[in-house]
Amino acid sequence: MMPVDQQQRMVAQSPWPAVAALGWVCQIGQILLLREFLMVFHGNELSIGIVLAAWLVWVGVGSHCAARVMPFAVRPQRWLYGSTLLITILFPLTVLAARLARGWFDVVPGAFLSLTDMMVASFLIMAPVCLLLGGQFVILARLWREHAQRTDTHTVGKAYMVEALGNIIGGVLFTFLLVHIMEPMQGGALIVVVLVGAAWGLTQRGWRRGWWLGIGLVAVVALSPWLRRIDDWGDQQQWLHIAPEHRLVESKLSRYGRIAVAQREDQYSFFQSGHLMFSTAGPEADVESREELEAATLAHFAMSQHPDPRTVLLIGGGMRGTLRELARHPVDRIDYVELDRVLVDLAREFVGPATRAALEYPVVHLRHMDGRLFVKTREAQYDVVVVDMPDPSTAVLNRFYTQEFFREAARSLRPGGVLVFSVMSTADLRGSAVANRNATLHHTLSSVFAEVLPVGGRTLYFFASDQPGQILTDPFALRARFIERGVEGTPFSPGQFQLLLEEGPLRRVNWILRHHGRHAQAHLESPDTGPLFPPSVADQLAAESEWPPVYERTFINADFRPVGYFYTLAFWNVLTRTDLSAAFHWLGRMQPWWIWPPVALAVGIALLLRLLTGTRSWGRRYGVQAAVFTTGLSTMALQIAILFAFQGVYGFVYEMIGLIVALFMAGLLCGAWSAQRWIKRKDSRCLLAAVQAGIALFAVAIVFALPGFAAWPSPVAIFAGFALTTFVAGLLNGVDFPLTVACHCAVAGRADASTGAVYGGELFGACLGAVLASAVVAPVLGITACCWLAAIANATACGILLITR
C-alpha cells in the first residue's frame, strides 16, 4: 500500500500543467494521425472530416465512460497513470496501423477507398488511443476539483480553458516548427515524453525540477536515427499496398505533404500525400514515357493556338516535360509556378537531362508559390496560360478548375490570349460520371470566356479565349504554325493535329458537352448523344443561344460549390470501383430541403415532452442535451467550411491546419474565460438559448463573409479575414461550454457526470457535423451550405430550449 502522506502529495499539486499537456498532446496527435490518413486516402479532403469525426466520437465515448466511473473511483491518480501507460504503448502502434490500413481492403492500385472504407479504417484504428485521451480529461477535471475542494462545475470550466491553451500551443508549435523537422515516429516519441512527464509531474517535486522533460527530450534526440528507421520501414510497407508494382525510391516530408518517388522499370512516379502528381521516364530511359508524350501534346497544341506566343505561364507539370516542350518555341519568357520546392528538388534527381536543363534556360523563371495566389497577385499578362495539374479529384486541385480561377486567369491574359488545360476522359463520353465532370468544366469555362473548344478522346483538351475566332479547329493551319516556328527535338509530330481534330469526333464531343447539363436532373442521367451527324462546331456555337440555359447549381464549378470535385471522384470510382456508383448517384440526389425533417422531429420531441412532463427534468435535460449536441455539430460544420474555404484560396491547409485550429482554440479559450469571469448565473437556460441564437446568426453572417474574403486582392487581408472568422467561431463555442455544463448540472445534480455528458455530447455532435459537412454537404451542396447547416441546427436548439424552459 502507498503511504497516506504520499497519496496526499499526489493530489496536492495543481493539475493545470497536466491538463495543458493533455491539450498539447491531443492537438499534435490529431494532426499527426490526420496526415497519416491523408496518405492512405490519396490526399482526399473528404477524409479530413471522417478522421476528425473518428477522433471526436471516441474521445467523447472515453469521456462519457470516465464520467460514469469517476464518481466511484477512490484513487483517480491510478486511472491517470494506467491510461498514460497504455497511450505510451498504443500511439506508435496507431501510426503504423494507419500506414497499413489500405491493405485491409480489396482495392486495385490507384483506386480511392470509399467513404465506408475510410470510416471503417479511421474508427477502428483510432479507437483505443482516443478513448483513453477522452477519459483523461474527466480524470484530470476531478483531480482539479478535489485540489480546489469544490463540488460545483467551476473547475471544469478552468480545465476546459487550460486544455484549449494546450491546444493553442500545440497548433502554433506544429505550424511554425514541428511541421518542418518532425517525422511521425519522432512526433509520437515527443507525445509520449510530454504525456508521461505530465502525469509524473502531479507529484510535488515533479513540476519543480522538471528533470523528466530534459531526459525525455534527450532520449528523443538520441533515438532519432532508430525512429527514422521505423518510419522508413512503415513507408515501405505502406507502398506495398498503394503501388505494389513500384519500388519506393525516396520519401521526404514537405510543408505541403509527404513527397514520395516510386520506380517501375525505367519510369518514376511522384506522389504528394499519396496522390499521383506526375510520372516521367528516368535519366537512363531511351524513349519518353506515355505521360511525357501527353505533356508534349499539351504544350505544342497550346502554343500553336496562338499566332505569336511570347510570354507563357505554366502552372504545374514542368517536371514531367511540359516546361521542356514549351521552351522549344521562340518565346521571351516562361513563368513556371510550382508550389513545393521539395517536389522540384526531388524530381531533379530522377528526370531526364533535357528536363533538368530546361530549368536553367534564361527565359524560364521558376516560382515556388501557390498558382492561384500567383495569378491573383501578379500584374503581368501572358499570351498563353497552361494549367498542367492533375484532374480535380481533391479540393486543392479543384481550385484550378473553378469559375473564380478562370476569371483570375482571364485577367492575366492579353487580348486574344489562350487558356489551356487537359483532363482524363473517355473516347465516347458515355455514362453520367464522365459527362457530368467534363460538361461542368465546359460550362464553367464558357461562363467566363467568349470561346471554348473541347478536343480529344481519352485525354480531353480545353482551349478558351476572350476573343471569338481565336481558337482554331483547322489542323492544317495549326500544322503550318508549328512548322514555321522550327521546333526541333520534340516527340510531338505535326500529324497529331489532324488526329486530334478529326471532324466526326470533334463535332460529337462538342455536341455532348454543350447540350449536357441544361435541366435540373441532367446530372443524374446519361448524356444525350444527339443526331447521327452533329452540326459543325461553328453551327453549334451559333445555335447555343437558343438552347435552354445551363443549370448552374449542378454544372458550374465554383470555389464555394465544388461540384467538379464531386463529379471527378464519381468518375474515378466508376473506373476503379463500380460498386460505388449507387452511392454517388444517391449523393447526387441530395437537396437542401432534406434538413427539415430532422429539425421537425427534434422540435416535435420537445413539444411532446413539454405536454407530457411539463417542466420536469426530462424535458429540461433534453433541451440542454440538444444545445450541447447542436453546438458541437455547428462548430465542426463551420470549421470544415472555413478549412475548405481556406484551402480554396491558399491551397495548402496541410501546413496551416495547426495554426487554424490554434486560432479556433484561442477564441474558445477567450470565450470560456469570459463566461467564467463575467457570467454570474451560468445555469440560466434563457442565456444559453441566447448564445445558441448568436451562433446561428454568426453562421448566417459567414455565408456572406467567406466569398467576400476570398475575393480580396491582398493575401494578408484574406488570411486576416479567415483568422478573425475562426477566432469568433471558437469564442462563441467557448462561451457556450460553461453554460451548458452548469445547466446540465442543475438538472443532473452531479458535477462529474455533467462534465462527461456535456464534453461527450458536444464531441458526438462534432462527429456528425464533421462527416456531414466534409463528406456530403460541402462537395454536393457547397461550402456555404455547411454554414446554413450550422445556423439551422443552432436555431433549432434555441427553439427547443425555449420550449422546454
Q: Which residues contact 46 (CB under 8 A, 6 or more apart)?
A: 115, 118, 569, 774, 775, 779
Q: Tell me the C-alpha distance between 452 and 441, whole Å.
A: 10
- Taking alpha carbons only, the member of 46, 64, 58, 4 closest to residue 744 is 64
Answer yes or no: are the C-beta atoms of 408 and 375 closer than 8 Å.
Answer: yes
Distance (Å, rounded) from C-alpha 423 to C-alpha 459?
A: 6
The rounded radius of gyration (Å) of the Cα atoms in the chain is 29
In angstroms, the Cα distances linking 339 to 96, 103, 312, 645, 649 are 29, 31, 17, 19, 14
C-alpha cell of 362? Answer: 534564361
Per-residue burial over 730-751, b if 16 or more Cβ lie within 10 Å, else e, is: bbbbbbbbbbbbbbbbbbbebb
Residue 279 and residue 270 in contact, taking contact as beta carbons nearer than 8 Å: yes
Question: How far, in Å, CA of 113 to CA of 111, rounded?
Answer: 6
Place of cell 493530489: 11
What's the per-residue H, E or C state across 583-628? Answer: HHHHHHCCCHHHHHHHHHHHHHHHHHHHHHHCCCHHHHHHHHHHHH
- For 255-320, where are the E strands, in sequence order? 257-264, 267-272, 275-281, 311-315
Q: What amino acid occupies position 408?
A: E
3-state secondary structure 32-78: HHHHHHHHHCCCCCHHHHHHHHHHHHHHHHHHHHHHHHHHHCCCHHH
Task: List Cβ neighbours of 208 (8 Å cut-off, separation of 6 or more).
Answer: none
In terms of Cα–Cα distance, which of 162, 125, 136 is closest to 47? 125
CA angle 692, 695, 698 (to 5 degrees): 150
How many beta carbons lie within 10 A of that of residue 412, not counting itself?
18
Nearest to 731 by CA among 760, 788, 759, 691: 691
Q: Are the CB atoms for 537 and 442 separated by under 8 Å?
A: no
Half-sphere exposure of 791 (CA within 13 A, CB side): 14
C-alpha cell at 240: 506495398
What distance lies between CA 240 and its chain's CA centroid? Answer: 25
Question: At 230, which amino acid appears?
Answer: I
Q: Which residues pair with 231 in a beta bridge?
A: none
Give the cell for residue 690: 441566447
> What does the block give as the cell for 571?
468518375
Which among 117, 388, 736, 752 is annotated as catalytic?
Answer: 388
Residues pairing with 269 in the sheet:
262, 279
CB atoms within 10 A of CB 803: 18
Residue 430 zone, left/alpha/beta (φ > 0; ψ -120 to 50; rest): beta
Pair 560, 645: CB distance under 8 Å: yes
Active site residue 106: no
The DSSP 8-state label assigned to residue 271 in this structure reads E
- In the chain, the amino acid numbered 38 is L
* Torsion angle of C-alpha atoms 605, 610, 613, 619, degrees rounded to 10: 70
> Coil, strand, or helix at residue 314?
strand
For the sheet containing 364-367, what is the strand order? 364-367, 333-337, 311-315, 382-387, 413-424, 459-465, 451-456
Positions marked catalytic: 388
